[in-house]
Amino acid sequence: MIFIVAANVLVYQLQFYFLVNAFHPVGFVNGWAAVASILLAKSFVPISFGDLGVRESASVLLLGRLSVPQAAAFDASLLLFLINIMIPAIAGLYPILKNRSQIHQLEKEPSYD
């Protein structure tokens, strides 16, 4: 289980680093340290909707110290949210709604027992 969690964190950090680097070039060591710090900082605030707002503020603050423009830091953080949370949620909405409609149809059918 520890390996799976560590792999999940590693993939998340790599995604964030590559997104930041796509908007503005950042050195690997400094960029990786900033991304790790951002993800650590956002975990300190337990009450937020998908860490939305906290991660963006932390990324603007910490990546700004590496001379990354505020727009690039904000966009990378928001895009990370879209890739990892919104797109899978929207994709999973269809099977849930389809299953729900099938259940309602079964409830409405008359029983001939």
Q: What is the pLDDT of residues 51-100, one digit of tens each?
A: 778 889 999 999 999 999 999 999 999 999 999 989 999 999 888 888 87
CA angle 63, 60, 41 (to 5 degrees): 85
Half-sphere exposure (Cβ direction) of 84: Cα atoms closer than 13 Å? 18
CA distance 79 to 85: 10
* Gap between the terminal Cα atoms of the chain: 48
Answer yes or no: pTM beyond 0.85: no
pLDDT band at 22 (very low <50, low <70, confident <90, very high): very high
